Amino acid sequence: MKIAVTSGKGGTGKTTIATMLAKAAENAQYLDCDAEEPNGKFFLKPEIEKTIPYTELVPKINEDRCIFCEKCADACAYKALVVMGEPLKKVMFFDELCHSCGACAYVCPVEGALVEVEQEVGLFNVGKAGNIDFVEGVLNIGEASATRLIATMKKRFMDDKKTVILDSPPGTSCSVVETIDGVDFVVLVSEPTPFGLSDLKLTVELVKNMGLPFGIVINKAEKENSLIDDYARKENIEILYRLEFSRQIAEGYSKGILPFDKYAGDFKKVLKRIEELI
Ligand code: SF4
Ligand code: SF4
């Protein structure tokens, strides 16, 4: 069973819920796909057994061979190449825009003028957090997109025999789409605020468009606040759990301590319900 945990925006408690689900699950694997800000490790405290560099192919121009025909720049949909012919005779490459699509290398007509080379853009940390298999993807600061790193992480490490909890990036970007693509269920974490609801609606639209089953967990729920409940009722979306606002959780979170044991029973029930819904 593969469960992605995501939220419309950062700071809603997505990692709190993802780690609580991983702790409550039997035979769990936790994949931290929030590669620009992976923080599941602060709560699960894994022993990292290996660190594996993640590389992508980028173009390298040999200006001695280049004929400055501009075919590579024309082929680049991301404007990562600028060719300056006579008298400058220069090709500029902006690696932060490059998506490693390979189009420039494909169209270049001169052998050896443009070759693809590996560039390290991130890494994977692999280890164990008690019984939980732990993997996190970490994108180097300044890199444009974590999408391919996430795709590689899922392909390389995801274990179908486990209950896999994918801690997604927040929002509705390509990285989120990549994370939740192909999972069995998506947990949407939201806070009962107008901003929280607005972002939740965007995420609901995304998962509906992708045809994925999903449910909501309300974080920092308050008895007198029915903002998310009213929306969910109207849209016929199941609220899987309400994690009441708790000073203990807020204080613990800032120290990297979450009360996993206290909530293990509740999150086992959430997992059971997700299984039924799948
Ligand atoms: S396609 Fe090749 S030869 Fe043409 S400008 Fe680009 S690198 Fe130079
Ligand atoms: S690999 Fe793709 S994105 Fe990168 S420079 Fe070449 S054409 Fe542009």
Ligand nearest to the CA of 79: 2
- Best residue among 101, 119, 121, 145 to mutate for probing ligand 2's pocket (most ligand atoms within 8 Å of CB) is 101
Same domain (yes/no): 8, 81: no
For residue 140, the model assigns a pLDDT of 92
Ligand nearest to the CA of 72: 1
pLDDT for 202 equals 96
DSSP structure string for 207-233: HHHTT--EEEEEEEE-TT--HHHHHHH
At a CB cut-off of 8 Å and minimum separation 6, what does 253 contact? 16, 43
Statement to judge: residues 141 and 234 lie in one domain: yes
Look up the CATH number of the domain holding residue 78. Answer: 3.30.70.20
Total domain count, the chain: 2
Per-10-residue mean pLDDT, the chain, length 278? 93 92 96 95 96 96 95 96 92 91 96 95 96 96 86 96 96 94 97 93 96 95 89 96 87 85 93 96
Residue 253: the pLDDT is 84
Residue 102 beta carbon below 6 angstroms from any ligand 2 atom: yes
Name the pTM for this structure.
0.88
Domain of residue 240: give its range: 2-55+122-277
CATH code for the domain of 130: 3.40.50.300
Residue with CA nearest ligand 1 atom 4:
69
The pLDDT of residue 207? 97
Q: Any idea which ligand is nearest the CA of 68?
A: 1
Residue 5: the pLDDT is 97
Q: Could you tell me if residue 8 is left (phi over 0), alpha (psi between -120 and 50 degrees) or otherwise beta?
A: alpha
Whether residue 36 is found in the same domain as residue 128:
yes
* Same domain, yes or no: 101 and 143: no
Asked if residue 87 and residue 165 are part of one domain, the reply reads no
Give residues (CB < 6 A) around ligand 1.
61, 66-72, 83, 91, 108, 110, 113-114
